[in-house]
Amino acid sequence: MVTNKGRQISGGKYIKNRKKKKSELQGQKRTIKLGDDKRKTARVRGGNTKTYLLKAKTINIQDVKTKKTQKTEILNVIETPSNRFLARQNVLTKGTIVDTKLGKAKITNRPTQEGSINGILLKE
């Protein structure tokens, strides 16, 4: 069966009832790479601001056993479960496993939405 995109069964065109609002438009894709800290601020809906990272080399690690948080340096990206090619490019996303001075850590937040990187220490 051949389907014509944007057409009704009768052959007529689907016409949008309105255009997208500025808040509904997609923004630029952001990738956070390993490197010296670099942040950017963007205006979002309601006049609020959102700080997001472009590059980062520090992570706030929480040890699950002791419940203590430490700030440490990221040495290398080990693996990214969502996309294995991101690990080769040293891209930091949620779920990425990184090598730090304290050991292996898993990123638990979304760095594209926040201005910092948080993670938990993994058992060796």
pLDDT, residue 70, reads 93
pLDDT at position 76, please?
Answer: 94
11 lies in some domain: no
CA distance 19 to 25: 10
Instruction: Please give the share of the chain, as a percent, with pLDDT higher than 90.
Output: 60
Instruction: Report pLDDT for 112.
Output: 86
CATH number, domain containing residue 50: 3.10.290.70
Residues 10-47 pLDDT 10s: 989 999 899 998 878 888 888 899 999 999 998 888 89
* Nearest in space to 114 (alpha carbons), one of 45, 32, 33: 32
Q: Which residue did the predictor score with more confidence, 119 or 124?
A: 119
Domain extent for 72: 31-121
Q: Report pLDDT digits (tens) over 81-115.
A: 999 899 999 999 999 999 999 999 999 999 888 88
Asked whether the beta carbons of 112 and 33 are under 8 A apart, the reply is no
On whether residue 70 sits in a domain, the answer given is yes
Which helix (H) or strand (E) covers residue 32, if one does?
strand 32-34
In this prediction, residue 2 carries a pLDDT of 65
Q: How many domains does the chain have?
A: 1
The verdict on residue 16 lying in a domain is: no
